Structure 1
Amino acid sequence: MHILFIPSWYPVSRSDVGGSFFREQAQALHKQGCQVGVIYPHFSSLRNGIFAKEKHGIPEFEIDEGVLTYRSYGKNWFPRFPVGIKKLWEYFGTQLFEKYIRTHGLPEIVHVHSMLYAGVVALRVKSRYGIPYVVTEHSSAFARGGVTNSSLRIAEKIQHGAARAFSVSKSFSINLDKRLPRGDVPWGVVPNIVSQKFVDAPIRKIKDSQGFVFLNIALMNKNKNQKNIIKAFAKYFLESAHVSLVIGGHGNEMNALKALAKNLGVAARVKFPGMLSRSQVLEAMSTADAFILSSDYETFGVVLVEALALGKPVIATRCGGPQSIVEEGDGILVDVDDVDELGRAMVRLNTEYSVFNPHEIRARCIERYSEPVIAESLIKTYASVISKDPNSSRSLNELSVA
């Protein structure tokens, strides 16, 4: 089966973590014997400088662990104008698509990751070449009311043209059904995968006398709400010298979080290692005792399934995605923006740690989110869509590439 991913964001280097779960899903499908390609026109912000040194307009190709990957680079000249952004994606995305098929042939199906604005490329490809596409939506902007009416109209056209549409969690699909109803074929759910690297890593750091480490890894913005973790930690573990907190990541809230830890008297036991690579995330999770997600809203929560794959119990807010992830025995769910409930959950994990069996936690995670499980589910979906589409078997020779 030949599958082409068109993501709305994607890693531009091996060290880039943005969209890394799209990349890992593409690689998982390749491992299952599929031919998988990715095309990604990257548009950087004008705030980086109009004349900043970048590979403007020059397509870049690599075979990334078996995945045929094409990127191009340009500026987002219309950051506040959805129609302008749509035109940029249509033009540069179509150019990349035509370059891709000249070498690798037509894909049988296109998979769009996040509709705005990769979906406009898939819609154009479907119109011109008759190739069906499916959508997986990831952007929390739809649920948080952050999508303008003009962008919503573009998304409506994209989802209307999709053979199937999914989100990454049940609560998010329910929300999308209200905003972008699909009639008789409602929004389904296909969760993100957990990378095989987390599944293969040894289970480490069972609680011992040397201390207890809580870990959070996320962008440092207001939605991630790490300030509540620090407040709970200071309130419930102020005198617990053996308990520490690590907050990995970066963002515009970092200085405020460091100041809060200092003001609350816990700066010596709250560490900020900064931005972490994928391998550093794995190492940090492996050596922690428990993971905390404190967000106001999440469509899924990839870091949660990564922690579970390493056998770590988790604490997560009931902010959307986590309710579909955290099962009995995996950890504790708490209300959004409730410092005391979060603090009590942290105390419970620390004092009742032996109740949470790391090997059972990992087994449940593998059963739901491992690469083979999600990849096989996707392949069945693709096959169903292709078999029902009369144009899906058309060859490159039957179509004009020009």
Structure 2
Amino acid sequence: MKVLIIPSWYPYPQKPNTGRFFLDQAIALSRNSNYEYEILNWGQNEYQLQIRHPFVAVSKIVNYLTAKTRTHNITPNLKEIKIPHLTWTSRLFYGNIKALVKKLDSLSRPDIIHSYVTFPAGFLAFRLAEKWKIPYIISEHSGPFPFPEYVIRNKVSKKITLPLHNASAVLAVSRFLQAQILSSCSVQSIVIPNLVDTEFYQPADKEEGKCFSFFSLSILTYAKGVMDLVDAFALAVQKGLDADLYIGGDGYLRSKIKQKITKYHLEHRLHLLGYLNPQQALEQYQKCDCYILPSHIESFSLVLLEAMACGKPTLATDCGGPRDIVTPETGILIPPKKPFLMAEAMLKMKENINNYSPARIREICITNYSPPVICKKITAVYQNILQK
């Protein structure tokens, strides 16, 4: 069986983490089944033009004009197919996605298409499947769903509804996202969560005598709740918390966070780490005592799994996807946008840290989210569709 994987975002040299989890899942599928896989890279982000960044857009056009169509093997049964294509906002001529269909005529026909996120990948899969007369599925990850740009006068755009209603199966990464898809588009979906590389994310021996620490990793935006986290940490310290907080990631709130650190006199306790590559993130997971997720909304949360794979308890806001992940055995759930309650939970976590078993937390992660487990569920969907 041959599967064409179409991700909506894809890594490129300037931004190697963009869409990385789509590529990681494709690699995992290729290693945990005997099927043949191809993954389509048209420069989803590399050649995407944004009018608010005109100089960057010019640079992308120049790079596009010199780019070549090519293929190469990522694993023995996963091939990347790069067909450079310029895209832009979906509000204008569907972001030029329709024109991409013509470019893909030369591809050998797969048995099934697996697209990730309804637009642009799901829409492209819908058009290709219609032309090639083959089935396709959509794995949806977006949060909130659908993104506001796809809702016009309280009606969901056909860019979303057409692919969803015509897919042979729709996969949602959480029950929260499943409910959003049903309520907004009247489409039933199957819950299959994201996977985590449990071979890469592993526990390490804790440093003796080290101060208790929390770790959080995200882009620094309001939706990720980082300002709430800083306020909560300041409140907890005022209440007697003896701990450090390490925040990884970058974003437009970095300067505002620095101002708050100064305001709360947390210069020696709250540490901004900036961008972290996977190896650096792993080291922070291993060093911390607890991972903390302060987001306002998440369709899932891969960082929670990465922390659990390292045997760490998690403190997360009940903002959608984490509801499926965090249990009393693995951590604490609190309401989002409530710094006072988050502060109380941080104090509680430190006080009860010995009640959490790192080995048991990792075992739960492997049992529910390791590559063999998730890939088996996905390939079962392929088989059921093709046997009909």
Aligned: 1:22 with 2:33: no
Hey, what's the Cα distance between the residues in 2 that align with 1:378 and 1:17?
Answer: 23
- 1:362 aligns with 362
Aligned equivalent of 1:219: 219
Q: Is 2:150 the partner of 1:139? A: no
- Aligned in 2, Cα 1:181/1:10: closer, same or farther, shift over 3 Å? same
Residue 45 of structure 1: aligned partner = 49
Q: Give 1:198 deviation, angstroms.
A: 3.6
Residues 39-67 of structure 1: CA distance to partner in whole angstroms, max 9, x if unpaired? Answer: 03223233152421413463243322342
Shift of 1:15: 6.5
1:168 aligned residue: 173
Aligned with residue 160 of structure 2, among 119, 139, 155: 155
* Distance change in 2, residues 1:60/1:256 (3 Å): farther
Which residue in 1 is equivalent to 2:63?
54
Give the match for residue 190 of structure 2.
188
| Paired residue secondary structure (1:272) | strand
- Inter-CA distance 228–125: structure 2 relative to 1 (3 Å threshold): same
SS in 1 for 2:64: coil
2:82 is the counterpart of 1:71: yes
Cα shift at 1:273 = 1.5
Residue equivalent to 1:320: 320
Q: Provide the residue aligned with 2:93 in structure 1.
A: 83
For the Cα contact (< 8 Å) 2:221–2:251, is it kept in 1?
A: yes
* 1:236 aligned counterpart, secondary structure: helix
Rounded Cα–Cα distance in structure 2 between residues aligned with 1:143 and 1:209: 47
Residue by residue, what CA displacement relative to the aligned partner does 1:98-126 show, whole Å, maximum 9, x if unpaired? 4442xxxx221111100111122211211
Compared with structure 1, are the counterparts of its residues 330 and 164 closer, same or farther at alpha carbon in structure 2 (3 Å cutoff)?
A: same
| Structure 1 pair 196–3 and aligned structure 2 pair: CA distance change class (3 A) | farther
2:342 is the counterpart of 1:342: yes
Provide the C-alpha distance between the structure 2 equivalents of 1:309 and 1:71, rounded to a whole number of angstroms. Answer: 33
Structure 1 residues 34 and 14, CA, compared in 2 at 3 Å: closer, same or farther?
farther
1:304 to 2:311 alignment: no
Contact preservation (8 Å) 2:150, 2:160: no
Question: How far apart are 1:209 and its partner, in Å?
Answer: 3.2
Normalised by the length of structure 2, the TM-score is 0.90
Summarize the alignment of residues 361-380 of structure 1 with structure 2, pairs less than 5 Å apart: 361-380=361-380
Three-state SS of the structure 2 residue aligned to 1:44 is coil
Counterpart code for 2:123: V
Deviation at 1:84, TM superposition (A): 3.3
Matches within 5 A, 1:109-148: 109-142=112-145, 145-148=148-151
CA contact (8 A) 1:82 1:151 kept: no
Deviation at 1:94, TM superposition (A): 4.6
Counterpart CA distance in 1 for 2:355 and 2:383 is 42
Structure 1 residues 190 and 10: alpha-carbon distance in aligned structure 2, compared to 1, 3 A threshold: same
Report the CA distance between 1:13 and its aligned residue. 4.0
In structure 2, do the counterparts of structure 1 residues 21 and 14 end up closer, same or farther at CA, with 3 Å as the change threshold? Answer: farther
Does residue 35 in structure 1 map to residue 44 in structure 2? no
Measure the CA separation in 2 of the matches of 1:181 and 1:14: 38
Q: Which of 100, 106, 110 in structure 2 is aligned with 1:107? A: 110
TM-score, normalised relative to structure 1: 0.87
| Structure 1 residues 370 and 160, CA gap change in structure 2 (3 angstroms) | same
Measured after TM superposition, the shift of residue 205 of structure 1 is: 2.3
Whichever residue aligns with residue 4 of structure 1, its letter is L
In structure 2, give the amino acid aligned to 1:366: I
Equivalent residue number for residue 243 of structure 2? 243
Give the number of aligned pairs. Answer: 375
Structure 2 portions without partners, runs of 5+: none
What do you get for the CA RMSD once the two structures are aligned?
A: 2.1
C-alpha separation in 1, matches of 2:267 and 2:286:
23
Q: 1:14 to 1:356 in 2, by over 3 A?
A: farther
User: 1:40 touches 1:93 (CA, 8 Å); kept in 2?
Assistant: no
